[in-house]
Every structure is written in C-alpha cells, then in structure tokens.
Structure 1
Amino acid sequence: MSTTGYAYALSCAELIHGETPTQQDKGVIRKLTRKEILTQEGNAFQVPLVQKYIEQLLEEE
C-alpha cells in the first residue's frame, strides 16, 4: 500500500472507530468527501464495501 493510501486508511480507521480526527485526518476526510467516498458530513462511508476493505487492511497489519 502506498504511503498516501496508508494515511487514508489510518484516517478512515479513526473515523470507523469514532475517534476525534487530527488536523491531518481532517484534510484526508475532506479529500475523501470530495471524491464521494465519505458522506458530506464526513462521518460515514458512501459504500459499505469500502469500509469493510479498510477494516480488513487494518486487521492485516
């Protein structure tokens, strides 16, 4: 996984676990919202399979 992909995965993991996002995470969340991966509120995934994929990546770590 690329460094950028890893950063996205970590930001998404925090989102999944309901943690408060850091300033860097907020930037990632904005980018993912613009790409319509996250909802406009930035607190949920548009497609549940994307969330499952991120969860699986994190479990493999």
Structure 2
Amino acid sequence: MIEKQSVLYNLQIETYANIILGRPIEEFDRFVQDWNSLGGERMTREVNEWLRQSNAP
C-alpha cells in the first residue's frame, strides 16, 4: 500500500480535476481501470483483509 498510494492518489486527483474542468464523465471509467491495474485492486484487498482481522472476535 505504501508503494502505490501516492501514484494512485495523484491519478485520482488528476482525473477528478479533468472531469470538473470539462472532460467527459466516461474518463472516470478509464480511471477505475487504471487505478485497479496500477495496484488499487491489491490495495483494496489488503485493506479489507486488515479490516477483517481487526474486527475478529
């Protein structure tokens, strides 16, 4: 997560700004694909696993 967080955050901010400035909303779909392929999917799995472990009785 530490390795990819800044790259993913920058991609997110850039995409949001571009959409706000008038790019088509479909750019968000590309953002999701890029975000997942750049490590977002793995980061989501890691966070979900951590959450499951921390909430375990």
**TM-score between the two structures when normalised by the length of structure 1:** 0.34
Which structure has the greater CA radius of gyration? 2
Higher helix share: 2
Higher RCO, 1 vs 2 (CA within 8 Å, ≥6 residues apart): 2
